[in-house]
Structures are given as structure tokens and as C-alpha cells.
Amino acid sequence: MTHRRLARRASVAVTPLLVVGLLAGCAQELPAPEPPSAAVGAMVTEKQEKTIISRVAESVEKATQERKIDALDARMTGPAKTIRTSQLNVAKKLDSDKQVTKLPMSMQSVTLPSDPQWPRLSMAASTQPKDLTPPVLYAFEQASARSDYKLWAWARLLPGVTLPRFAPTDTGTETVADDDEKTLASSPAKAVAMYADVLSEGKDSKFSGKIEDDDFRDLMRKQESAQKKADGWKKAEGKYSFSAKADKDAGVRSMRTLDGGAIVMGAIDSAQVIQLQDKAEAPPSNGFVTQKALFGDQDVTNVLRTKYLDVVALYVPPAGSEEKVRLVGFEHIAVAATNE
């Protein structure tokens, strides 16, 4: 990251720092699941799931290469579709696909649904990419018996993370209700809301004692600290804020782990705001090309607001456990930038 000197509209400006991407690193292979004592049948076979994932991958890749946003409807929904739509709009403006997240769909493990009703949920973790970036955790959903499976969300796993074990593929895995507070330490919906509050408020959050610290929260703290050390920040009377809240419209998707806990995937709406004194300017960063593309030809003012759609993958322990809720993966994607 480089800091640019502030220059007012006539003499002072602050260029926001580049948002650091997902921390790269070598992640461990995910453990093979151990069979549970009870046997329930999986509603989808491994062969069927392989076909489903292959068709999703082909459809998403084709839409991405052709930059056809309408084509995303066929195999994307929820937060995945929102993020990809924004990324393709940016790709069109830049005439470049460099800011579009690569989605490797060669899987090292799949988690198949045991629930006979719809919607049906499955999850899968990709193999280790050759560039040693972390594997990706995916959530796929089938809305009804006659609907195609679609990619609902993805999150890149934290470096070195090992996912908890799920039931074997011939048994199938139970989907967990959003409001399940009886079998889990926190309901899936509340877990995502708690995490959003801690992401936003840090140690001041009333939930800080219930969530393990992690790389995502550390990244946000470092970004704020670095921005406040930028040249001319104090002279421009700079103010920095970051807020986050659960995207209730998106909901959450959760599957039971063998220990009685759950892996929960949910969306969070977050925003970074940089505000300077009235006569100063806060233009988008030249080093943050996505932000600059989203900002477009708006007039530069003393305020720069960048909105993100975040996807978090959380492990929620079973009820009665002394473990804390912990992050296992996330995605942090800018989807809007405005001058107010």
C-alpha cells in the first residue's frame, strides 16, 4: 500500500488506502468425514453432486467470460449472484477480468443433504489451488424439485483452517434451521448477526467474548490504523468509520457437523466511510481499481463511502459447548462507492 499526499480541493486531499485482499497462504487438506452411528439416506449421490457442480461451474464460467449478467440467473442466486453481478459490471468498465474472483470447482470434499424437503442445501470445499491460495467453501441450493441447483454463496477458507467433520456422503447431512437455538450454542441467524456486530464494534461489542478473534477482523483493524497514519490525515481532520450488519434479506445457510455443531454461511453488509474537512477531497484510490470503477464519474467531495457485501462461513459449536463461534472463511467484496 502506498499513501498519497493530501491535496485540498484547492490544496488538501486524502487518497484512501487500498483494501487488502484475502490473506493468501497454504491451507491444510480437509479431513475425511467419519461415519456417524445413525444412518439416514442422502438425497443426492456423489455422482449427481459432481454433475451438479460441473454444470454450475460451466454456466458461471461462460457468463463470466462473456460478461453476461443476465446469464448468471441460470446457476447463481443469493449473495453469490449479487457479488458476481457487481464484479461483471466492474469488468465491463475496466475491460478487464482481473477483479473477478476465480471460483475453482474441483472439489476435495462434498457435503450432501439428507433432508427430503426443499429447499435443499449442499456444501463443497475446493481442492488447494496451484497458486497456494486457500480453498473455497461453496453453498449450493435447490429451491424446488423442478429447479436447478444454484450457487448461493462462496467464502475463501482462512489459511491453515481445518473444517469440522460432516456425515459421510452415503448418509447425508442435516440442514439446520436459521432459528435453531436448542441444539446450537447460538442460532445460525444470531451467530451471523453477532459476528457482524463484533466486526463493526470490535472489543466494544457485547458479543466480543463469544467470537474468536480472526484474520478478517484483524485485517479491518489494520486497515483503519494504516488509513489514520496516511500523510496529511490529521491536517485534513480525517475521520474513519467502519460498520457492518447482517443481511437479513439474504438469510443464512447451515449444515450440521458430526459433533452436533454447524457450519453457517451468511451475508453481511458493511461500509467504510472516510470524511475530511469541508475544503478537502477524498477521491477513490488509484491502487483500488474496483473502488475507482464503482465510483465512476461522480464528483469528488470530502466524503468517500465504500460499500461491501461480505460472506462469512462460521463454525457454531453445539449447545452446552465451551467453544466460541469462530470464522473459518470469508469474502469481502466492494459493491458500491459514493461521494456521500
Residue 292 has pLDDT above 60, yes or no: yes
pLDDT at 132: 82
Q: What is the pLDDT of residues 252-289, one digit of tens each?
A: 999 999 999 999 999 999 999 999 999 899 999 999 99
Longest Cα–Cα distance in the chain: 72
Residue 243 has pLDDT above 50, yes or no: yes
So where are the chain's domains?
Answer: 46-338
pTM for this predicted structure: 0.88
Residue 190 has pLDDT above 50, yes or no: yes
pLDDT at 18: 46
How open is the CA angle 336-134-174, to the nearest 5 degrees? 90
pLDDT at 3: 39
- In this prediction, residue 300 has a pLDDT band, given cuts at 50, 70 and 90, of very high
Residue 326 has pLDDT above 90, yes or no: yes
pLDDT at 40: 56
Residue 7: other Cβ atoms inside 10 A: 16
pLDDT at 38: 42
Instruction: Give the H/E segment covering residue 58.
Output: helix 46-66
Q: What is the pLDDT of residues 108-158, one digit of tens each?
A: 999 999 999 999 999 999 998 888 889 999 999 999 999 999 999 999 999
Residue 66: other Cβ atoms inside 10 A: 10
Q: Which residue has the higher pLDDT, 174 or 133?
A: 174
Residue 23 to residue 167: CA distance in whole angstroms: 30
Residue 105 has pLDDT above 70, yes or no: yes
Q: How far is CA 298 from the centre of its chain?
A: 27
Q: What percent of the chain has pLDDT over 90?
A: 84
Q: What is the DSSP string of 71-122?
A: GGGGTB-HHHHHHHHHHHHHHHHHT--TTSPP----EEEEE-B--SSSSEEE
Residue 294 has pLDDT above 90, yes or no: yes
- Grid cell, residue 299, equals 464528483
Residue 128 to residue 135: CA distance in whole angstroms: 5
Q: Running DSSP on this structure, what letter comes out for residue 87?
A: H
DSSP 3-state percent helix, strand, coil across the chain (nearest 5): 25, 25, 50
Q: What is the pLDDT of residues 42-52, one digit of tens each?
A: 999 999 999 99
- In this prediction, residue 39 has a pLDDT band, given cuts at 50, 70 and 90, of very low
pLDDT at 19: 40
Mean pLDDT of 300-305: 98
pLDDT at 232: 87
Q: What is the pLDDT of residues 203-239, one digit of tens each?
A: 999 999 999 999 999 999 999 999 999 888 999 999 9
pLDDT at 33: 42
Mean pLDDT of 159-188: 96
Residue 21 has pLDDT above 50, yes or no: no
Q: What is the pLDDT of residues 50-98, one digit of tens each?
A: 999 999 999 999 999 999 999 999 999 999 999 999 999 999 999 999 9
